[in-house]
Amino acid sequence: MGEFDLIDTFFTHRWPARDDVALGVGDDAAVLNVPSDSQLVIATDTMVSGVHFDEQTPARAVGHKIAAVNLSDLAAMGAEPTWLSLALTLPEVDEEWLTSFSHGLREICEYYDCQLIGGDTTKGPLTLTLTAHGLVPRGQVLRRDGAKPGDWVYVSGTLGDAGLALACQQHQQSISDSHYRRVLERLYFPSPRIALGQNLRDVASSAIDLSDGLYSDLGHILKSSQVGARIDVDELPLSLALTESVDADTAINFALTSGDDYELCFTVPESKRGVFDTVMARHPAKPTCIGRITNQPEKLRLEREGEPWQGLDKQHGYDHFG
């Protein structure tokens, strides 16, 4: 099977098609129509075999996740996802793997009405890069640099589940089968918080998606906004799978420092809290308030019952080459 057959077989037929795509797969480049009242939002993420996933990761999960991690970036900007470009480097044409991979990718494209508009397939060590494009109403994008002292700090979902799954895979933790299945689902099939991000456009003063762990990622908001934060570790949203599997301090460490959550962390000004609560009343999973922004630049203070919490492990979020 050649390169062009591969694209035809796995990435063309019966994939979602959007009206704003003037020209999709099959020319030198794709051509898109951007509405004049919108700004274009672009995110890129790579996943490397042996680094971001391994041989035991189902191909369908790889297909889901390469899209999900990029859509999560768009969610953090308040954007609506529209078009994806996929660069796929494969050691060989493994039709079984490609069938499952393309299935996982197509499912998430269908769910979020994204169109695969192009990319490249090359031979080499298994590596995937996806560039996700989205749209946001002009001037309404969520940024990292708008947090102000007094704003409330929120996170969506529960934290640390994917990190627990990874620790189990690496034999650093041992947990019950049912809990393992739950956290593995979080590791393999993260849900980008697209609807939440769009609902935050009018209310959040800053937002970021959690890919490297809350401690590290909230640090980016603090640095960009030149503010600090007080976080109450007892308020961190934890799943039963996490709290029933490890002791309290270990659970908090997973929530603070393990990556792959793909939840949103954002700040809401006091003046927008009423609007926020009203909007969130319609939202299935209400985000959790975990603390407040302070005026001490880049100072992240972890508290329990008002006192400093000293239980943080040395590992603070994932930094390639760090």
Q: Is 144 annotated as a binding residue?
A: yes
Q: Taking CB under 8 A as the rule, does residue 275 contact a second copy? A: no
d(C-alpha 252, C-alpha 311), whole Å: 9
Task: Please identify, using beta-carbon distances, which residue of 81 and 239 lies nearer to a second copy.
Answer: 81
- State yes or no: 318 annotated in a binding site: yes
E strand or H helix at 186, and its extent? Answer: helix 177-188
E strands, 91-126, are 115-123
Choice between 187 and 246, CB closer to a second copy = 187
Interface residues for a second copy in 20-39 (CB under 8 A)?
22-23, 26-34, 36, 39
Least separation in angstroms between residue 185's CB and a second copy is 24
> Which tokens sit at 242?
């996490």
Q: What own/partner pairs with CB < 8 Å and gap ≥ 24 does 122-126 have?
A: 122/87, 122/88, 122/89, 122/90, 123/89, 123/90, 123/91, 123/92, 124/89, 124/90, 124/91, 125/48, 125/49, 125/89, 125/91, 126/48, 126/49, 126/89, 126/90, 126/91
242: exposed, middle or buried (C-beta count within 10 Å: 0-12, 13-18, 19+)?
buried
CA distances from 221 to 133, 254, 256, 300 (A): 22, 20, 15, 11
Query: Ramachandran region of residue 260, left (φ > 0), alpha (ψ -120 to 50) or beta?
Result: left
Pairing outcome for strands 127-137 and 228-232 = unpaired
Nearer Cβ to a second copy (197/233): 197
Query: Is 94 assigned a ligand-binding role in the annotation?
Result: no
Q: Least Å distance between CB 115 and a second copy? A: 11
17 binds a second copy (CB under 8 A): no
13 is an annotated ligand-binding site residue: no
Question: According to CB under 8 A, which residues from 214 to 243 bind a second copy?
Answer: 224
Query: Would you count residue 286 as binding a second copy (CB under 8 A)?
Result: no
316 annotated to a ligand binding site: no
* Angle (nearest 5°) at CA 15 between 50 and 109: 55
Question: Site size for a second copy, by CB under 8 A?
Answer: 72
User: Given the rule CB under 8 A, which of 126-134, 176-184, 285-293, 294-302 is the region that contacts a second copy?
Assistant: 126-134
Smallest separation (angstroms) from a second copy to the CB of 240: 29
Residue closer to a second copy (CB basis): 216 or 245: 216
Structure tokens at 274: 């009423």
212 is in an annotated binding site: yes
- Give yes or no for residue 295 binding a second copy (CB under 8 A): no
Out of 41, 162, 238, 252, the residue judged to bind a second copy by CB under 8 A: 41
Which of these ranges, 122-130, 175-183, 278-286, 288-296, lies near a second copy under the rule CB under 8 A? 122-130
Asked whether position 83 contacts a second copy by CB under 8 A, the answer is yes
Q: Is 195 in the site for a second copy (CB under 8 A)?
A: no
Nearest to 217 by CA among 263, 172, 181: 263
Binding track over 132-151 against a second copy, x by CB under 8 A: xxx-x----x-xxx------
**C-alpha Rg value of the chain to the nearest Å:** 20
Q: Does 55 interact with a second copy (rule: CB under 8 A)?
A: no
Which residue of 162, 208, 222, 231 would you call a contact of a second copy, by CB under 8 A?
208
- Residue whose entry in the numeric block shows the structure tokens 């880049």: 298
| Minimum separation from the CB atom of position 120 to a second copy (A) | 5
Residues belonging to the binding site for ATP are 119-120, 144, 211
